[in-house]
C-alpha cells in the first residue's frame, strides 16, 4: 500500500471546534448544485482552511471528512463541475496525479474552451497543425523555416511537433 499524507502529519483529524468552523464556511444543500465556500482562498482561487494551527486545502479536508479516506501522495482531487471553489462532496473525486493533467486537457477539449481554434489568440487552424506535423517529419525541413512560414515562433512549432501544444489533434 502506498504512503499517505498522514505520514506528513497533514491529515490528522480535525478537532470538533475546527470541524464546526470548516462546515460553517460551506453554503448549500442541494446534492446536484455547487456548494459555495465562504472561507479564505488561495491565490489560485482554491478554498483554503486554517484549522488546528495548520493551513490545509479545504477540498482535501472535505474529501477526508466525507469519505474518511486520506489521499495517497500520488493523488489529487478533481471536480466534476469544473468549479474550483465548489464544496459539494458529490462533485469531487480523487485521481492519480499523473492522469490529472491529461484529464483536465481532455475536459477542455470536450467543452471547446481555450483549446486550438477555440482559443481567442489562436493563429493556426487544425489543418495547418496537421500540415506542420507532416512536414516536420522530413529531416530536410527546419522548424525555424516552418515558424517563419506560418507566422509563429520556433518554440510553438516545437511544441506542436512534440505534441505539447494542440494535443487534441
Domains of the chain, earliest start first? 5-111 (3.90.75), 121-161 (no CATH)
CA–CA gap between residue 25 and residue 21 (Å, rounded): 7
In the predicted structure, residue 12 carries a pLDDT above the cut 80: no
User: For residue range 123-152, what is the model confidence (pLDDT) as tens digits?
Assistant: 898 899 999 999 999 999 999 999 999 999
The proportion of the chain whose per-residue pLDDT surpasses 90, expressed as a percent, equals 38
Write the DSSP string, the chain. ---BGGGGTTTPPPPHHHHHHHHHTEE---TTSPPEE-S-B-TTS-BEEEETTEEEEHHHHHHHHHH--PPBTTEEEEESSS-TT---GGGEEEEEHHHHHHHHHHHHHHHT-SSGGGSTT--S-HHHHHHHHHHHTSTTS-HHHHHHHHTS-HHHHHHHHTTSSSTT-
Quote the CA–CA distance of 13 and 15 in Å, as a whole number.
Answer: 7
pLDDT digits (tens, 9 = 90+) for 62-75: 998 988 888 788 88
Is 17 a residue whose pLDDT tops 80?
yes
The answer on pLDDT for 110 being more than 60 is no
Q: Is the pLDDT assigned to residue 106 strictly greater than 70? A: no
Over 60: is that where the pLDDT of 34 sits?
A: yes
Residue 28 — left, alpha, or beta (φ > 0 → left; ψ -120 to 50 → alpha)?
A: left
Residue 56 pLDDT greater than 70, yes or no: yes
Amino acid at each position: 500500500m502506498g504512503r499517505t499524507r498522514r505520514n506528513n502529519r497533514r491529515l490528522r483529524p480535525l478537532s470538533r471546534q475546527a470541524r464546526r468552523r470548516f462546515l460553517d464556511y460551506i453554503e448549500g444543500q442541494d446534492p446536484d448544485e455547487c456548494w459555495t465556500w465562504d472561507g479564505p482562498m488561495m491565490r489560485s482561487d482554491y478554498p483554503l482552511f486554517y484549522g488546528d494551527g495548520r493551513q490545509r486545502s479545504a477540498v482535501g479536508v472535505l474529501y477526508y471528512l466525507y469519505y474518511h479516506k486520506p489521499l495517497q501522495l500520488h493523488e489529487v482531487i478533481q471536480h466534476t463541475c469544473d468549479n474550483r471553489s465548489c464544496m459539494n462532496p458529490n462533485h469531487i473525486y480523487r485521481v492519480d496525479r499523473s492522469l490529472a493533467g491529461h484529464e483536465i486537457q481532455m475536459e477542455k477539449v470536450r467543452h471547446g474552451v481555450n483549446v486550438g481554434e477555440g482559443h481567442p489568440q489562436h493563429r493556426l487552424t487544425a489543418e495547418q497543425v496537421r500540415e506542420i506535423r507532416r512536414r516536420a517529419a522530413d529531416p530536410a525541413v527546419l522548424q525555424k523555416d516552418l515558424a517563419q512560414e506560418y507566422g509563429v515562433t520556433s518554440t510553438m512549432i516545437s511544441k506542436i511537433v512534440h505534441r505539447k501544444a494542440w494535443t487534441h489533434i
